[in-house]
A and B are shown apart, each in its own frame.
Chain A
């Protein structure tokens, strides 16, 4: 029997294994781990740039989260489908090309359907390309796993990122502008003299809010950095 035949036989044997349930425990963990215990922002320290830059108001933050989830999921899927075809030496450029294409799609979509939002987010949509979460997941997960698992991983990381930046944005908008989704909440309850804090609108507020959020999150999950 030739070597090739044995390889084929081996592959057949692998395929005969019973199929994993559609939502097995392992797969559930792929989605839920990045939400708290393995959060991309607070634990892995990835994707901080955009977490800080777009979080002045909730609305652009929501758009940004949706864009990032879209890009992570599809980049993970595409790279996972191509993972056996990509030569190791040029994999970074291949990954960047895939991500850049997806980000261009998002950017053109925003330009066409929501031009105001496109103006607000400005260069930060383009900077999703260099968002470390996207590249990190492609390198660490999609290059070594099957497409379906990669989609789940993308969803998990995307939502882990989204809830952190939405929380940061919530506090920054509430304390900095006294509003939520541009709805003046303090005026509505009759507190018209609410002192808005200029530092929260500024970059410093972002650093401090995120720092405190990381503190709370890590104290809860018991993660300690050495």
Chain B
């Protein structure tokens, strides 16, 4: 049950966009149409669900202080935490590459819709951010996977909702200086206000 709760918390309460502001760049840039937003959202869920557990393994068995004792007892004092950023980003970049190649091989249709977004994801802060938060939260591997999926799905929901609003917004009279980014920021603020309603729910 705890595993399920972690995913739910990631989707609604600790939403990547509204609570941590992560992945804002692609959230704002790729939310002009629902169709493309759907593609990007799906790719983010996919990559997050894979990279968070992989980075968890890396943190647990390589980077953490004393993590290398499974090789030899004398490695107890080695602390490689300072390599965390480089290792995590390398894992993310290579996972994205790998996922891209696998999807291209297995499902050309899916590749067609996700294709252009996959390289973008390597530099999406939500991906690196989830891995860094996962370390802080001290999860086990199943919880970490569930957290990865939850935060990905939260991003997915948020970007689709924003894209739907922006599609309607095309027919509104917006002051010219506020067009595009300005009004999108204000709308995101209002959506964040709505998401605040979930905060009282104790999971």
Q: Does B5 contact A (CB under 8 A)?
A: no
Interface of A is mostly: helix
Q: Which of these, B24, B93, B179, contacts A225 with CB under 8 Å?
A: B179
Would B122 and A123 count as touching, CB distance under 8 A? no
Q: For A129, what are the chain B residues with a Cβ–Cβ distance below 8 Å?
A: 85, 89, 128
Is the C-beta of A120 less than 8 angstroms from some C-beta in chain B? no
A129–B91 Cα distance when bound, in Å, is 14
Per-position contact with A for B107-125: 1 when CB-CB < 8 Å, else 0? 0000000000001001111
Check A104 for interface membership: any CB of B closer than 8 A. yes
Interface size grouping (class) on chain A: 35 or more
Q: Using Cβ atoms and an 8 Å threshold, which residues of chain A touch B188?
A: 207
Contact (Cβ within 8 A) A97 B185: no
Q: Is B171's beta carbon under 8 Å from chain A?
A: no
A63 CB–B CB distance under 8 Å = no
Query: Which chain B residues lie closer than 8 Å to A207 at the CB level?
Result: 185-186, 188-189, 192
Count chain B residues whose beta carbon lies closer than 8 angstroms to a beta carbon of A.
Answer: 48
Q: Write out the residue numbers on chain A whose beta carbons fall within 8 Å of the beta carbon of B94.
A: 93
Residue A92 is within 8 A (CB to CB) of chain B in the complex: yes
Give every chain B residue within 8 A of A62 (Cβ-Cβ).
Answer: none
In A104-153, the 8 Å CB interface with B consists of: 104, 107-108, 122-123, 126-127, 129-132, 135
Give the residues in chain A near B193, CB-CB below 8 Å: 199, 204
* Cross-chain contact A211 with B189 (CB below 8 angstroms): yes
Q: A45-B28, A123-B132, A126-B85 are in contact. Are A206 and B21 (CB under 8 A)?
A: yes
A47 within 8 A of B: yes
- Which B residues lie at the A interface, using CB under 8 A? 18-25, 28-29, 82-86, 89-90, 93-94, 119, 122-125, 127-129, 132-133, 136, 175-186, 188-190, 192-193, 196
Top-9 shortest CB links A-B: A225-B180, A207-B189, A211-B185, A219-B177, A48-B24, A123-B132, A52-B21, A211-B186, A218-B177
**12 extra A-B contacts, CB within 8 A, seeds A49-B23, A107-B85, A214-B178:** A45-B25, A93-B93, A100-B86, A103-B85, A104-B86, A123-B136, A130-B125, A203-B19, A207-B186, A215-B182, A225-B181, A226-B179
Interface set of A (CB-CB < 8 Å, partner B)? 42, 45-50, 52-53, 92-93, 96-97, 100-101, 103-104, 107-108, 122-123, 126-127, 129-132, 135, 199, 202-208, 210-212, 214-216, 218-219, 223-226
